[in-house]
Amino acid sequence: MYQCIIHGVGCVIVYEYAYFCLQGNLQDVIALGVKQYQDSGTQASIFQDLQQVFQAHANNQVTIQPLVLDIILRNQMSKTFK
């Protein structure tokens, strides 16, 4: 289950970034988003944060859900467009 959450969080971050890249008429926005996600350290930061959440709140989905959302909001890559 945790692998799905980790992958899903990465997808949300990349797609949200790609949406803002589309506003600038860039090509291959998904590939650009994935590269930026990996190269910027965002992926490593998210992975570390999620690991801590999973260890501290194992098997408590009610507690994990808002924490995962908070991780997504703190790591929005689209903030670079502001």
pLDDT class of 9 with cuts at 50, 70, 90: very high
| Residues 10/37, Cβ–Cβ less than 8 Å | yes
Nearest to 50 by CA among 12, 16, 10: 10
Domain interval for residue 71: 1-80
pLDDT at 10: 95
Split into its structural domains, the chain has a count of 1
pLDDT at 45: 96
pLDDT in tens, 53-80: 999 998 888 999 999 999 999 999 988 7
